[in-house]
Amino acid sequence: MTNSVNPMPAFWRGKRVLLTGHTGFKGSWLAFWLHRLGAHVTGISLSPVTTPNLFDLAGIETLTKSHICDIRDAAALAVLIDKAHPEIIFHFAAQALVRASYRDPLATLATNIQGTANVLDALRDIDSVRAVVAITTDKVYHNLEQPYPYRETDALGGYDPYSASKAAAEIVIASYRDSYLAEKNIAVASARAGNVIGGGDWSEDRLIPDAIRAWNGNQPLQIRRPQSIRPWQHVLEPLSGYIKLAEQLWQNPKLAGAYNFGPETHEAASVREVVQLAQKAYGQGEIHWGDGSDGPHEAGWLALEISKARTVLGVKPRWSLVDAVQRTMHWYRQQHDGIDVRVACEADIAAYEAVNNSNQAS
């Protein structure tokens, strides 16, 4: 198998890349990695929404041409995209939190559906773009609450406003690909990733950030639904997949379509398991377990079938759940102790790539 290779610096060196959502957790990591590969990155996003945040701590603004712009502003967005003259686009910008979508559904729908349409519509008048990777979520599927890993051909759906907005975004992405962009030789793919953990996330209502805030403050971590099953993965896993997807779309536009990125099915784990691993890795922390009745509806069982990414792109998971949690908690420990965040990010990427090199050598 010649797959599962690392991102190719020779490919990315000098490439003009547009990254929406570059101030977010995953976006900041990708901006850092693309800059490391030699790409020229233009970022479009709202200002960071948390304090602290990875964008500021890692100085991502100095690694990109950074623009603060709301993707709901179609006219302003189109001007910035035209000015960037991108060859490859990663569309991350989104309202990405389930509980926040319950509080403000209209903003969630506007950002995730209309915002995605605005990005794609701007490409109708641009000739430089060859590949687009639009990020949605593992929650786009009509969840049957059964121990069944969803595959790319399964029905879309969404109980909560966030999931519904991302499922709708998938339809928008497919429509623009088929109606406009394919005939312009722009290869458009959507990427559906599982629950992501990793250093540098301080978002509200996310498991590991909640744990870090609680335990650093000597407070108990409140867990609402310890029994919920999710496809947890380290942030570098899907980002590596997105990068490889863009490389291969460039070479073969016929690979356009939807792709799942997640752990092996048997690695899907409960919230309880992840919290206990995090507690062990962090070395401290009290936990208060809820009974699953608190808060609005969230899916109880969710896993992804990732055979398409493995077969078509050569992408497969490298770090187990234990490795992912340990890496994540070590990152936060280092950051809390004052390490240069760029050094911590560089160490994780180097370690991730080394796993692949080791696999190839064997």
Mean pLDDT, the chain, whole residue set = 95
pLDDT band at residue 358 under the 50/70/90 scheme: low
pLDDT of 180 over the 70 cut: yes
pLDDT of 340 over the 90 cut: yes
> pTM of the predicted model, to two decimals?
0.96
Q: What pLDDT does 145 receive?
A: 86
CA distance 315 to 319: 12
CB 183 within 8 A of CB 168: no
Work out the average pLDDT over 19-41.
Answer: 98
Q: What pLDDT does 230 receive?
A: 94
pLDDT tens track for 91-103: 999 999 999 999 9
> How many helices (H) and strands (E) are present in the chain, helices listed first?
14, 13
Q: What pLDDT does 295 receive?
A: 76
The token pair that represents 202 in the structure block: 């301080």
pLDDT of 361 over the 50 cut: no
* Residues contacting 333, CB < 8 A, separation 6+: 282
CB 32 within 8 A of CB 64: no
In order of start, what are the domains of the chain with their CATH numbers?
A: 12-354 (3.40.50.720)
CA distance 194 to 210: 18
CB 112 within 8 A of CB 97: no
Work out the average pLDDT over 265-285.
Answer: 95
pLDDT band at residue 354 under the 50/70/90 scheme: very high
pLDDT of 3 over the 50 cut: no
pLDDT band at residue 359 under the 50/70/90 scheme: low
H helix or E strand, kind and range, residue 8: none
The alpha helices in 42-140, defined as continuous H runs, are 54-57, 74-84, 98-103, 105-109, 115-122
Q: What pLDDT does 123 receive?
A: 98
What percentage of the chain exceeds 90 in pLDDT?
90
Q: What pLDDT does 297 receive?
A: 74
H helix or E strand, kind and range, residue 89: strand 88-91
CA distance 339 to 49: 23
Work out the average pLDDT over 44-66.
Answer: 98
pLDDT band at residue 270 under the 50/70/90 scheme: very high
* Residues contacting 16, CB < 8 A, separation 6+: 39, 40, 42, 84, 85, 86, 87, 88, 128
CA distance 59 to 340: 10
Work out the average pLDDT over 230-253.
Answer: 98
